[in-house]
């Protein structure tokens, strides 16, 4: 299970810390969902997920203000007894000083944002889903080609880095070389990124380490990219039958998500960069509803029907 430091959430969302006396350095968030504690403020704590970030919006605040003050403070104290990671008030709402005193005593940070409740929750959930997503690390390179994330895989020394470098020279953007960290942010989306230590570096055998950002400029790199297509480079095997039409898609699976995969045989003289570009454009065409292989198949079928008739 992955965690996010509360300090990171505060910095990312530009939150105001209303309880500065609490040491928040060791507080971590482990759940990507957030909770509006409406039922809890009404006194119903069954099935309460106390590990979630708690957000109090305009409706919850109005409900608290209608309560008897002593009862309101008792409910808030009971809520904090569950040791929630933090309580966030939206819309820059005023916070009762007694609530802040109880929070400091219970060591539950009280934070505040100027954003509306719904937009703030959507932004936090999106960010936490990425930061807390299940992930794996694989050997390969990831390049943004015409907006499509192309994951280049293959045995060590087969030419992945050289292909990535040629794509960069042709105006595409490097995400990572050699090591790709893949995060599953949803059942449809995989996000690839680079370990901090190797970010924007490429290793070329015989030359050494190349800093892509320094050599080609900031427009040649990016930090994250959705993985849309996998290209597996492999040594040419004349005994193997390779797909020459592409009527049926082949897939590879990461973290339970399937991604379209093309196996490309490598022989001297093949321009891997152009092949990757063609694969990216062809994949985009298929997403837009045009399949060249199916079009050729239809033409051949229609021609045979005409011949038979």
Q: Which residues are annotated as a binding site for Mg(2+)?
A: 161, 203
Known binding-site positions for ATP: 154-161
Active-site annotation holds for 228:
no
Does the annotation count 139 as an active-site position? yes
**Residues in binding site:** 154-161, 203
C-alpha dihedral sign at 297, 302, 303, 309: positive
Which two tokens mark 277? 């570009």
Within the chain, what is the greatest distance between any pair of CA atoms?
Answer: 91
Is 160 tagged catalytic?
A: yes
Considering only CA atoms, give the Rg of the chain: 27
Catalytic residue among 47, 66, 238, 244: 244
Contact 166, 38 (CB under 8 A): no
Under a CB-based contact definition with an 8 Å cutoff, are residues 110 and 89 in contact? yes
Of the residues 139, 169, 205, 299, which is catalytic? Answer: 139
The 10 Å Cβ neighbour count of residue 123 is 14
Contact 84, 48 (CB under 8 A): no
H runs (alpha helix) in the chain:
6-13, 38-41, 58-66, 69-81, 97-106, 117-131, 160-169, 212-216, 272-287, 292-308
For residue 100, give every residue at least 6 positions away whose Cβ sits within 8 Å of its Cβ, in sequence order, or none: 18, 19, 110
97-106 vs 69-81: helix crossing angle, rounded to 10: 20
**Under a CB-based contact definition with an 8 Å cutoff, are residues 267 and 236 in contact?**
yes
Annotated catalytic residue, options 115, 160, 173, 232: 160
Q: Is 69 a catalytic residue?
A: no
Residue 82, SS3 per DSSP? coil
178, 199, 284, 286: which is the annotated catalytic residue? 178
Active-site annotation, residues = 139, 160, 178, 244
């Amino acid at each position: 299970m992955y965690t996010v430091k509360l300090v990171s959430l505060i910095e990312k969302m530009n939150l105001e810390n209303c309880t500065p006396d609490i040491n928040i350095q060791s507080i971590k968030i482990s759940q990507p969902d957030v909770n509006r504690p409406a039922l809890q403020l009404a006194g119903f704590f069954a099935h309460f997920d106390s590990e979630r970030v708690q957000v109090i919006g305009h409706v919850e605040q109005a409900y608290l203000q209608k309560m008897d003050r002593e009862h309101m403070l008792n409910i808030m104290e009971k809520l904090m007894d569950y040791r929630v990671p933090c309580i966030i008030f939206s819309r820059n709402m005023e916070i009762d000083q007694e609530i802040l005193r109880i929070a400091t005593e219970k060591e539950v940070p009280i934070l505040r944002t100027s954003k509306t409740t719904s937009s703030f929750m959507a932004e936090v959930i999106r960010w936490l889903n990425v930061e807390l997503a299940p992930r794996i690390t694989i050997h390969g390179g990831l390049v943004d080609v015409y907006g499509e994330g192309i994951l280049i895989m293959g045995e060590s020394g087969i030419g992945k880095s050289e292909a990535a470098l040629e794509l960069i020279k042709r105006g595409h953007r490097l995400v990572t070389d050699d090591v790709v960290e893949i995060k599953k942010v949803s059942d449809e989306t995989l996000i690839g990124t680079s370990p901090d230590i190797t970010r924007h570096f490429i290793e070329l055998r015989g030359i050494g380490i190349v800093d892509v950002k320094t050599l080609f400029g900031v427009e040649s790199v990016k930090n994250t990219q959705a993985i849309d297509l996998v290209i597996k480079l492999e040594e040419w095997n004349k005994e193997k039958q390779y797909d020459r039409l592409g009527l049926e898609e082949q897939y590879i699976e990461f973290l339970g998500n399937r991604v379209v995969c093309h196996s490309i045989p490598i022989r001297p003289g093949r321009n891997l960069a152009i092949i990757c570009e063609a694969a990216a454009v062809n994949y985009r065409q298929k997403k837009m509803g045009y399949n060249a292989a199916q079009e050729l198949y239809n033409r051949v079928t229609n021609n045979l029907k005409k011949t038979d008739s």
